[in-house]
Amino acid sequence: MSRHHRIAAIPGDGIGKEVMPEALRTLEAAQRRFGFRLDVTPIAWASCDYHAQHGQMMPDDWKAQLQGQDAILFGAVGWPATVPDHVSLWGSLLKFRREFDQYINLRPVRLFEGVPCPLAGRKAGDIDYVVVRENTEGEYTNLGGVMYPGTEREIVIQETVMSRFGADRVLRYAYELARSRPRRHLTVATKSNGIAISMPWWDGRADAVGADFPEVTVDKQHIDILSARFVMQPGRFDVVVASNLFGDILSDLGPATTGTIGLAPSANLNPERRFPSLFEPVHGSAPDIYGRNIANPVAMVWSAALMLDFLGEREAHDAIVRAIEQVLREGPHTPDLGGQATTTSLGEALAQRVAG
Ligand code: NAI
Ligand code: MG
């Protein structure tokens, strides 16, 4: 694998513009220490500032501009004071996810030492799993409609679509991920008791794909009790795979149990690498704190580490995660964790530890 990677850096809006420089700072340090090379193309579009000047979120040739990149590092998009959220989101991020067929949405969930846990009595190590969400089909479709609107006979239908192609590829990814982790355990989110056509079929696909992974243990859990266990017994989980809707909910609930949203990273992957994959913090542009240099950069920096892992730079990924562990344990801390450090000083502390 080449150790020269081309990436597009898109800060977007609000605190995206404050945390992105800290991710780039850490990546600089990682390059120097581990000897790979990043060709970074900074991109100012996919932002509400661009929209103010051009009346759209991105240039018409956005796809051609990004197509040749190995990955996209993304901050956050949204500035509701000037552009409605559905316009900014559908005009940028959702186009990337769909047109680049980023069918895996990956969210690691981990409780770190030094971070207060909203669940009583949990310590670092008790929560450590990954949610794998199907990102292109399932419950989120535009198939359906309203009949007899505004009358007593009003009817609404919205279809769920699951394909063998779409289900198998996300299940296979989840099994492979589980196989690569020490516990080798996969939880399949289902609701085959209530959603009696598509979900038994989904469970069947999980069995069929699982035939190739005898070393992975599997349990299927209905989404309602599974959600309860994220709170009550988080230690049961290693890799969790879910349809688009269930995964959407689980991938917010999981990180919420581990402290501040300022820590949670995510990856939107096209594992075949036909298109660039996208790495971004879970949080948004946080207009309420923008401009004060107090946003926590850890989610952004961890997302950059996930990007390096995907690009084959495993050692650099591990070094960044270790730096995050150390800084969360020893400080400095940003205000969301009760400290007084700035975004910049936390970023510098992380980069320094990565530099070794
Ligand atoms: P948000 O995630 O931006 O903020 C929620 C709360 O968490 C705020 O109080 C904020 O100050 C805090 N917060 C978020 N990130 C933080 C960090 N790194 N450090 C410290 N505190 C942090 O969600 P909100 O307020 O619902 O949305 C604001 C804008 O962001 C909207 O335009 C929304 O559409 C957009 N958004 C974009 C996302 C994306 O780009 N993937 C995801 C979520 C929201
Ligand atoms: Mg969500």
Residue 301, domain CATH: 3.40.718.10
For residues 140 and 343, the model is more confident at: 343
Which of 51, 72, 261 to probe ligand 1 with, by most ligand atoms within 8 A of CB? 261
Q: How far is the CA of 69 from the centre of ligand 1 (A)?
A: 26
Q: How far is the CA of 14 from the centre of ligand 1 (A)?
A: 9
- Tokens representing 47 are 């932002």
Question: Do 237 and 273 belong together in one domain?
Answer: no
Given a cut of 80, whether residue 295 has pLDDT beyond it is: yes
Question: Do 309 and 276 belong together in one domain?
Answer: yes
Question: Residue 142: its pLDDT value, please?
Answer: 86
Q: How far is the CA of 352 from the centre of ligand 2 (A)?
A: 33
Given a cut of 90, whether residue 259 has pLDDT beyond it is: no
Query: Is 107 a member of any domain?
Result: no
Residue whose CA lies nearest to ligand 1 atom number 1: 284
- Tokens representing 308 are 């390096």
Q: Find out whether the beta carbon of 255 lies less than 6 Å from any atom of ligand 1.
A: no
Given a cut of 70, whether residue 354 has pLDDT beyond it is: yes
Question: Do 148 and 41 belong together in one domain?
Answer: no
What DSSP designation does 72 have? E
Q: Is 0.90 surpassed by the pTM of this model?
A: yes
Domain of 67 in residue numbering reads as 1-102+265-356
Given a cut of 80, whether residue 1 has pLDDT beyond it is: no
Question: Do 308 and 245 belong together in one domain?
Answer: no
Query: Is 197 a member of any domain?
Result: yes
**194, 227, 256: which is the final residue of a domain?**
256
288 alpha carbon, closest ligand: 1
For residues 2 and 307, the model is more confident at: 307
Question: Do 230 and 150 belong together in one domain?
Answer: yes
Question: Residue 234: its pLDDT value, please?
Answer: 97
Give DSSP secondary structure letters for 269-289.
Answer: E-TT-SS-EEEEESS---TTT
**Which atom of ligand 1 lies at the shortest distance from residue 79's CA?**
32
How many domains does one find in the chain?
A: 2
**Per-residue pLDDT reduced to its tens digit, 51-106:** 999 999 999 999 999 999 999 999 999 999 999 999 999 999 989 999 999 999 99
Question: Residue 141: its pLDDT value, please?
Answer: 87
What pLDDT band is residue 307 in, cutting at 50, 70 and 90? very high
Percent of the chain residues topping a pLDDT of 70 = 100
Query: Which residues have CB atoms below 5 A from the ion given as ligand 2?
Result: 248
312 CB-near residues (< 8 Å, 6+ apart): 1, 3
Q: How far is the CA of 79 from the centre of ligand 1 (A)?
A: 10
Q: How far is the CA of 144 from the centre of ligand 1 (A)?
A: 31
**256, 282, 311: which is the final residue of a domain?**
256
Query: Is 123 a member of any domain?
Result: no
Question: Do 132 and 235 belong together in one domain?
Answer: yes
Question: Do 163 and 52 belong together in one domain?
Answer: no
Residue whose CA lies nearest to ligand 1 atom number 20: 295
Q: Find out whether the beta carbon of 311 lies less than 6 Å from any atom of ligand 1.
A: no
Question: Do 248 and 269 belong together in one domain?
Answer: no
Question: Residue 2: its pLDDT value, please?
Answer: 81
Residue whose CA lies nearest to ligand 1 atom number 4: 286
Query: Is 296 a member of any domain?
Result: yes
Question: Residue 44: its pLDDT value, please?
Answer: 97
* Pair 296, 264: CB distance under 8 Å: no
**Per-residue pLDDT reduced to its tens digit, 104-134:** 999 999 999 999 999 999 999 999 999 999 9
Query: Is 345 a member of any domain?
Result: yes
Question: Do 252 and 132 belong together in one domain?
Answer: yes
How much is the average pLDDT of 28-48? 97
How much is the average pLDDT of 254-265? 92
Q: How far is the CA of 249 from the centre of ligand 2 (A)?
A: 7
Give the total residue count for the chain: 356
Question: Do 309 and 233 belong together in one domain?
Answer: no
The H-assigned helical ranges of the chain are: 16-34, 48-54, 62-67, 85-90, 93-99, 164-180, 198-210, 223-232, 244-256, 298-310, 314-330, 343-355
Cα–Cα nearest to 77, from 54, 60, 61, 96: 96
**Per-residue pLDDT reduced to its tens digit, 199-235:** 999 999 999 999 999 999 999 999 999 999 999 999 9
Query: Is 118 a member of any domain?
Result: no
Q: Find out whether the beta carbon of 262 lies less than 6 Å from any atom of ligand 1.
A: yes
**β-pair partners for 222:** 190
44 CB-near residues (< 8 Å, 6+ apart): 11, 50
Question: Do 241 and 294 belong together in one domain?
Answer: no
Query: Is 112 a member of any domain?
Result: no
Question: Do 327 and 275 belong together in one domain?
Answer: yes
Query: Is 50 a member of any domain?
Result: yes
Question: Residue 229: its pLDDT value, please?
Answer: 98
**224, 256, 288: which is the final residue of a domain?**
256
**Which atom of ligand 1 lies at the shortest distance from residue 297's CA?**
18
